[in-house]
């Protein structure tokens, strides 16, 4: 009964979130199945692993992605828990199935063959890398905005981060870089590997600009009349972020309130908005793009010598 009531009261938010996740997963499949895999462009991630396994043991790329997606999904359940893994469930269903449909659709494969693979030129491969990276980046960004996760090798990054506390950005670079490096030796095609690096860079840039613009961190200013304690408790206990309580006064009635200020990572954006709306639907919330954050939980503050 509680689930039914939850769905009734939150159907609009749920519909919007899952629509974005589904669209993002389909765009991810288009970028991978239409551009990267047919041209053997190794841009890291599951598609890069699939290309390597196709070359070494002749295992179909789409099946590789399907199998590895669910392997990482269950690893996430074991090491990261149900709550985290739930975010990648929809994408884990949609992305590999959409990739299989694209890869095994005769009409689409004919278009791909005529566009890229007949008398392949470097310029065609380069265009495929640019568009493939763009579609993949847009798909991942929309999935993030919907509050989901694309899973895949990112699960491996989160697991290593949990036990080593190394930065996720560094781990992601190491994992994808290792896949691309392995592809150089396995495929024996330096040009395609260089285009793969370019495609991975374009993917990262698309995620950055679509999801949070140029900023890597966000700062939220939250004003709630009666639920400051609950919102602050969520930030402290669930997000595990520090917060600052600032006394403020309304300009019209001069009523005093407490404003919560919290700086957080971009991946926590959708969860924060959702949880605040559940605690206090009348809360006033402003989210600001933050150029740089130094201190605990973010980049360390390093003392630099002044030069004159």
Cα gap 51→264, rounded to integer Å: 36
> What pLDDT does residue 22 have?
92
Q: What would the pLDDT profile of 266-287 be if each residue is shown by its tens digit? A: 778 888 998 999 999 989 999 9
Looking at the whole model, is its pTM more than 0.85?
no
Q: What would the pLDDT profile of 135-192 be if each residue is shown by its tens digit? A: 999 998 888 888 777 888 888 888 887 888 777 667 788 888 899 999 888 888 888 8
Of 160 and 116, more confident: 160
Res 306 pLDDT > 50: no
CATH numbers and ranges of domains, the chain: 2-212 (no CATH), 217-290 (3.30.70.120)
**DSSP assignment string, 11-32:** HHHHHHHHHHHHHHHHHHHHII
Res 119 pLDDT > 70: no
> 80 — phi, psi (to 5°)?
-115, -15
Strand order in the sheet with 243-249: 243-249, 256-265, 217-223, 284-290
* DSSP run (H or E) holding 245: strand 243-249
Helices (H), ranges, the chain: 2-9, 11-30, 45-57, 61-80, 82-86, 89-103, 106-112, 122-145, 153-164, 168-187, 190-212, 228-237, 269-279
Sorting pLDDT into bands at 50, 70 and 90, what band is 307? very low
Res 92 pLDDT > 80: yes
> What pLDDT does residue 27 have?
95
> What pLDDT does residue 308 have?
33
**DSSP assignment string, 148-180:** ----THHHHHHHHHHHH---HHHHHHHHHHHHH
> What pLDDT does residue 213 have?
60
Cα gap 293→1, rounded to integer Å: 43
Sorting pLDDT into bands at 50, 70 and 90, what band is 255? confident
Instruction: Tell me, rounded to whole angstroms, the distance of Cα 98 from its chain centroid.
Output: 18
The residues, any chain, with a CB within 8 Å of residue 196's CB and separated by 6 or more, are 36, 41, 42, 43, 44, 48, 129, 180, 183
Of 133 and 121, more confident: 133
Res 85 pLDDT > 50: yes
Between vectors from CA 93 to CA 204 and to CA 10, what angle results, nearest 5°? 90
Mean of the per-residue pLDDT values of the chain? 84
Sorting pLDDT into bands at 50, 70 and 90, what band is 7? low
> What pLDDT does residue 305 have?
44
> What pLDDT does residue 88 have?
87
**Tokens 């288009």 label which residue?**
30
Q: What would the pLDDT profile of 15-53 be if each residue is shown by its tens digit? A: 888 898 899 999 999 999 999 999 999 999 999 999 999
């Amino acid at each position: 009964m509680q689930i039914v009531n939850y769905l009734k009261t939150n159907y609009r938010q749920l519909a919007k979130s899952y629509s974005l996740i589904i669209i993002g997963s389909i765009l991810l499949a288009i970028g991978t199945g239409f551009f990267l895999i047919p041209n053997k462009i190794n841009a890291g991630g599951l598609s890069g692993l699939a290309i390597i396994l196709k070359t070494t043991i002749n295992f179909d790329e789409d099946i590789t992605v399907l199998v590895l997606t669910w392997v990482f999904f269950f690893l996430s359940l074991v090491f990261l828990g149900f709550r985290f893994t739930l975010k990648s469930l929809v994408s884990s269903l949609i992305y590999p199935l959409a990739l299989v449909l694209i890869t095994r659709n005769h009409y689409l494969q004919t278009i791909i063959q005529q566009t890229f693979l007949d008398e392949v030129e470097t310029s065609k491969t380069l265009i495929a890398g640019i568009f493939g990276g763009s579609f993949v980046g847009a798909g991942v960004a929309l999935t993030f905005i919907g509050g989901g996760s694309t899973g895949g090798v990112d699960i491996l990054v989160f697991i290593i981060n949990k036990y080593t506390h190394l930065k996720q950005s560094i781990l992601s670079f190491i994992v994808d870089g290792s896949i691309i490096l392995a592809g150089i030796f396995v495929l024996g095609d330096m040009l395609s590997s260089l285009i793969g690096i370019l495609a991975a860079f374009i993917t990262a840039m698309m995620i950055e600009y679509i999801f949070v613009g140029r900023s890597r961190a966000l700062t939220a200013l939250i004003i709630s009349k009666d639920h400051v304690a609950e919102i602050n408790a969520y930030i402290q206990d669930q997000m595990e972020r520090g917060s600052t309580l600032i006394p403020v006064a309304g300009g019209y009635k001069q009523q005093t309130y407490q404003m919560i200020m919290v700086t957080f990572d971009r991946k926590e954006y959708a969860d924060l908005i959702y949880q605040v709306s559940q605690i206090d639907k009348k809360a006033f919330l402003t989210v600001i793009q933050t150029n740089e954050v130094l201190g605990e939980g973010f980049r360390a503050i390093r003392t630099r010598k002044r030069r004159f």
